[in-house]
Chain A
């Protein structure tokens, strides 16, 4: 079947591979199929719920993913067989584990102590008697909750109080009403008789024996002591990465967040991007709960897939290139590339241009200077600095390397605000602070700079994840050299900024200029 997409020239695979078979994954698949884009689902379990006729590899997993956007090759394992599957783009919408957090309260699951989702599905113990029994929701007590879980708690509590006529309590700390309609739902639940008890500096005491559960607490507002013996208690479920996430992460070489979800906690990846171009994470794979969030993510993922399959996603202007004759195959470039744009062909590294984001980190890190990254080659940049020095008559000459993502937009806004750059300062715009090598820095000093400033993005806000950290370690290297030759180490300075910090940019430059002025012009 021909796709309706006008494919990018040179794109080999025109299909989408979806990892996962839940509601989020299915919505993405349906949207792409409506556009006549071939879809292949790869699912750990069986294909239950996926529309008949869909192309599904069930009980299957991906063990490796090579190539770049438009032309990925996945290694698949299914029933002990191994084969490859091409993909133009991939979206991972794998389910996480919903784990009940009863242990946090010292409880065991039992007919009385139930995970929230079971209560939400109306699955109550036989001992529950309408009009008499007590139900308790232990919600967000052991750890802070989230609006999606709060929605389920309040809907379930409302049903128990209104339809089953149970005495229903929700015990919580901070009630998470930051979701559409939740404040209203909270009020409806209270009107229906649900009692919400909020704890701030105390916590309920929960005891459990074979016969009963006992929950005692002091109402903080009145100081009155309560003891409840609920016939049913619901405990929150926490969304955690499933064991499959580790395998997916390794197969696709994805950066994860601190919990292990398959998207780094970096605002530039929001909503559905990962560190690899053409590979997306949606819904539970990036730690989201709730129908509304899954639907919105499905739309955002379909939008992103459509854009990349047509080759319409923005691309970087400059690409790294490895000079095979200089390369000693240390594979540093392979390790440092956040975007996984370096592949290894028979022990030789090669840059995949479609995957390269043009950050220049590999070129700066290569111990053999075997990677060309035009037009930011240290020799070319240093020649530019020499010219700039010649054009300037000021006694004190300084150089600033500015990250194009953060410092450059901040400077441009500063200019629009009326800022005048110090006349002795020469500014060099680079794609990422991580592209600056020790050679770049030395080049500036050799050209007569009294000081060098490097501005990158704040940690955790770098498009290349570690650009600023790489720059910082280069600067340390140079400072160690300075220490040995008795040169003031603080003539080289690093700082971090965000794109909206025009005022911060001006402050950092001023502080830098003042500091270098204090050292005076360097010895010739």
Chain B
């Protein structure tokens, strides 16, 4: 490789995509500044639990911990937490104004970089506008909240009373594959997330009854066929999304839906409902796109590979729905392009 020592790259966003890009660039001898808005590394997936049952189910969440550890240990990566880019100037390199929050307010500095990788991730869909009583019924939670419970508590607890649920439902495709919202994409990860969590719950509490409302089950993992067979034995699968959720006694939730088998309206009562909310474009994507001159597609995701000819790249879920392994693969691929760009310059 032509000498990359002394080259400086800014990686914006320290989710699994940004971390992977940062550690790969650092390995190759590039100086990396990792700019992260929040006060921790790891992005969304740092909040996910391990869904292993008798063996690993390949959800990928533990890879994020590994990436965080390598980046923290790398002398070539300078980590800027609670920081964001406020302005970008082009003259020769990329002149970024990076603002860092601290106890006494905020501090800004202008720094020059040879290239930029945008890895700012996604925003989860806000299910408040759906008729599912989110934030109104205490025991309606999102898949992200269930992930966090598994991660932080190592068990599932109903928000209303902390008890383990006995009748749980998962509602898929909330905010994805939805023509009315104009969200004409599958979020790609929520079938896997939900079914792995469901099996994890059953492995811990075999008497839990789980119902899964869905449109199509997406394939995930290499042993999907086997996994799916087990799931169909353990979980009640209903190929229809409920129209509405209503409150039921004892903080329960009543789901009303058109039962596809009897072709009649049906009801079921649950003591906890999980909404599988999807991946939507990062709320700041529009601003980032214009600030950095990176095209965004019609849905609002950044163009994969960003604006590579000008030294601004994009990677990970900022470019569209993708899983953790896909985000790592994508970041590896983008690093290749960054290196090619640096070699030319």
Contacts and interface: CB of A to CB of B under 8 A. Distances in A.
A96 to B, nearest CB: 13
B224 interface: yes
Given A183-B184, A498-B56, A303 B333 contact: yes
Interface of B: 1-3, 24, 27-29, 46, 48-50, 52, 54-56, 58, 60-66, 69-70, 151-154, 177, 179, 184-186, 188, 191, 216-225, 228, 239, 260-261, 263, 320-321, 325-326, 328-330, 332-337, 339-340, 343
Interface in A304-344: 304, 306-307, 310, 312-314
Interface in A169-227: 174-184, 187, 198, 200-201, 220-221, 223
20 contacts: A144-B228, A147-B218, A177-B186, A178-B218, A178-B219, A179-B186, A183-B177, A183-B184, A187-B184, A220-B260, A296-B333, A300-B336, A304-B332, A314-B70, A406-B62, A461-B56, A500-B62, A500-B151, A503-B151, A507-B154
Given A178-B188, A498-B62, A307 B216 contact: no
B219 A146 contact: yes
A267 interface: yes
Given A201-B261, A460-B58, A145 B219 contact: yes
B177 A306 contact: no
Contacts of A268: 63, 66
A458 interface: yes
Contacts of B320: 180
B332 to A, nearest CB: 4
A174 B216 contact: yes
Contacts of A223: 263
B55 A503 contact: no
Contacts of B65: 409, 413, 499-500
Interface stretch (A257-265, A348-356, A390-398): A257-265
Given A265-B222, A307-B27, A459 B336 contact: no
Contact of B239 (A144, A187, A200, A507): A200
A500 B185 contact: no
A6 B216 contact: no
Given A176-B218, A270-B325, A500-B48, A303 B336 contact: yes
A501 B147 CA distance: 12
Contacts of B58: 265, 267, 460
Given A174-B218, A312-B29, A501-B154, A265 B329 contact: no
A40 to B, nearest CB: 20
A358 to B, nearest CB: 16
Contact of A177 (B2, B49, B216, B239): B216
A108 interface: no
Interface string A130-146: 00000000000001111
A312 B30 CA distance: 12
A271 B332 contact: yes
Nearest to B220: A178
Interface of A: 4-6, 31, 34-35, 143-147, 174-184, 187, 198, 200-201, 220-221, 223, 257-259, 261, 265-268, 270-272, 287, 295-300, 302-304, 306-307, 310, 312-314, 405-406, 409, 413, 457-461, 496-501, 503-504, 506-507
B186 A299 contact: no
A503 B63 contact: no
Contacts of A31: 336, 340
Q: Which of B54, B185, B325, B329 has the most CB atoms of chain A within a 10 A radius of its CB?
A: B329
B62 A6 contact: no
A4 B52 contact: no
A270 B321 CA distance: 18
A179 B188 contact: yes
A212 to B, nearest CB: 30
Contact of A35 (B1, B49, B186): B1
Given A271-B325, A287-B222, A461-B56, A178 B186 contact: yes
B134 to A, nearest CB: 23
A67 to B, nearest CB: 23
Given A270-B60, A297-B333, A314-B70, 17 more contacts: A144-B224, A178-B219, A180-B185, A180-B321, A267-B60, A267-B62, A299-B334, A299-B337, A303-B335, A405-B66, A458-B50, A460-B55, A460-B58, A499-B65, A500-B48, A501-B154, A503-B152
Contacts of A6: 1, 3
Contacts of A201: 261
Q: What are the 8 A-B residue pairs with the smallest beta carbon separation, nearest first?
A: A299-B333, A300-B332, A461-B56, A503-B154, A499-B65, A271-B329, A498-B50, A498-B62
A interface: dominant SS: loop
Contacts of A179: 186, 188
Nearest to A6: B1
A407 to B, nearest CB: 12
B260 A200 contact: yes
B221 to A, nearest CB: 8
Given A174-B218, A177-B218, A35 B343 contact: yes
A304 B23 CA distance: 12
Nearest to B238: A200
A214 B246 CA distance: 46
Contacts of B333: 295-300, 303
Given A35-B1, A310-B1, A144 B219 contact: yes
B219 A147 contact: yes
A459 B53 CA distance: 10
A238 to B, nearest CB: 11
A503 B153 contact: yes
Nearest to B51: A498
Contacts of A181: 185
Nearest to B153: A503
Contacts of A506: 154
A10 B179 CA distance: 59
B303 to A, nearest CB: 12
Contacts of A220: 260
Given A299-B332, A459-B55, A183 B185 contact: yes
Contact of A296 (B24, B46, B63, B330): B330
A250 B56 CA distance: 26
A459 B62 contact: no
Contacts of B55: 458-461
A277 B100 CA distance: 40
Nearest to B53: A458
Nearest to B52: A458
Given A144-B225, A498-B61, A503-B152, A4 B188 contact: no
A302 B334 CA distance: 11
B222 to A, nearest CB: 5
Contacts of B326: 296
A310 B24 CA distance: 13
A271 B216 CA distance: 26
Given A147-B219, A299-B337, A498-B61, A267 B50 contact: no
A299 B261 CA distance: 47
Contacts of B154: 501, 503-504, 506-507
A501 to B, nearest CB: 5
Contact of B50 (A271, A287, A313, A500): A500
B56 A458 contact: yes
Contacts of A507: 154
B218 A409 contact: no
Given A178-B186, A459-B54, A300 B219 contact: no
Nearest to B301: A180
Given A221-B260, A306-B1, A460-B56, A257 B335 contact: no
A6 B4 CA distance: 10
Nearest to A264: B222
